[in-house]
Structures are given as C-alpha cells and as structure tokens.
Amino acid sequence: MTRPAAVLFVIAVLGAAAAAADIPLAERKSGYEFMARETRAMQDDDSANPATLWVLDAETLWQRKEGSAGKSCADCHGDARTNMRGVAARYPAFNEARGRPIDLEQRVNICRTEQQRATPLAFESKELLALTAYVGQQSRGMPIDIANDAHIRPFLEAGRVMFTERQGQLNLSCAQCHDDNWGQKLAGAAIPQGHPTGYPLYRLEWQTLGSLQRRLRNCLFGMRAVSYPYGASELVDLELYLMWRARGMPVETPAVRP
C-alpha cells in the first residue's frame, strides 16, 4: 500500500463505526466469495488448481520412510484419505506435552522428530506445505470445529486480543479491516472477512503455495507492526482465534486466492 493510500484508509477506518462483533454464521463469507469468476474456477477444478502439484508430491511423501526410525506417515496413520478426514478442521489444537496449542505444521514436525526420528521440516518448505495441504485436503467440505475448553480458552483469548488490538505504525487492528470494513475496497481489492478456510493455499500474488502464518506475517508487515518469526506462539494463538472465528465454515484446502 502506498503511503497516501494508507493514510486515506486509516482516516476511513477511524471514521467508521466500530462493529467488532462476532460475525454470525449465516453472514460469514469465505474469501472465495470475493474472488473473480476465473479465480473461483481455478480453485474448483483440481486439474487447474496449481496447489494440486503439492498435493501430488505429498502422496509420495506420505509413503516415504524417513529418519533413523525408518517409518513413513502411512506406517502410523494408514490411508490419509480416510484416517486424516477431519483432522485439519480441528487445528490448531491443544498439545498436552507442550502445554499449549500447536498448528498443523508443528504437528507434522512433532511426528517427524518423535516418531520418525527425522529432522523437522523448515517452515514454508515445499515438503511441509505439501504434507499440510494433503492432510488439509482430506477435510475439504467439512466444518471447522475448533475446541473451546478450559485448556484452549486462555490461548483463544490471547489470539482475540491480538486480532482486536491496534498495532504498528499505522495503528490498525485486524478487526478494523476484517470485522468492521469487510466488503469495502482497499487499493481496488475487496476486503474479505479474513477466514482461514483454505490454508495452505496457492496465492496468485506469491505464485506458490503458502501457509496461514505467511499471510499473517504479510499483514503485520503491511501494518508496520512486529512480524513474529514462523512458529511463534503469538502467530499460533492468532491462527487459533481465526479458525475458531470461522467455526462452522467448510474447509477449502488447498484454496486459491488472488
């Protein structure tokens, strides 16, 4: 965003009435609904969706034996098409050993280090994105169903605070865009509600697959705010809140976005 555009946007936001209420399920809209017909068609057809290339790679990775344990994902989990059904719809999820929520990328790496005795995959690496897209695809069409129990609640609240508090040099919050001004235009593009229904997804701007954390870091950079490192607890808490905020909406992984 150019500086003049950013200033005009801040003025518009400050002049808008604060809504900041939970968007009712009947009014929740995926980013898919804000896209052009051609981009929707790309997502709808697996043969045209560029993310399919990562999913096909993951079918091989799922069967490949790794690490000193010489085990594959399939050795523990069997056929992903049946046994991974619904998993991505529940992540981030509370992990007893860590005493806090973990996201799907972290879950894959815990399996690698503890079960396969292999080196963890780097965030945004082709292999980690492929495996999480593959697992995510098995929940496609299923409703997002994030837990809201005593273990999770403090982290949900931390994510909510991060979503609603003003941050950075532009003094903006996530909620000011995605709750208060969704459907409006920013630099000619529609502002979506910010529901993470399709990650990891193929973004035309990136020309590659990317995780939700990559998108969050992009937003924080645009707000001139602290951009936390991949895997930071702050980002996982925000992921958790965003997924809870999208509860009941269907998983679209791997989605396509502009």
Which residue numbers are catalytic? 219
Q: Please state the separation of Cα 166 from the chain's center in Å.
A: 21
C-alpha closest to that of 192 among 87, 39, 86, 45: 39
User: If we measure between CA atoms, which residue out of 248, 221, 206 comes closest to residue 54?
Assistant: 206
Backbone dihedral angles phi then psi of residue 227, each to the nearest 5 degrees: -105, 100
Give the whole-angstrom CA distance, residue 108 versus residue 236: 15
Tell me how far apart the alpha carbons of residues 40 and 222 are, in angstroms, rounded to a whole number: 26
Which residue pairs, CB below 8 angstroms and at least 24 apart, start in 188-192?
A: 189/258, 190/34, 192/29, 192/30, 192/31, 192/34
How far is residue 13's CA from residue 36's CA, in Å, rounded to a whole number? 25
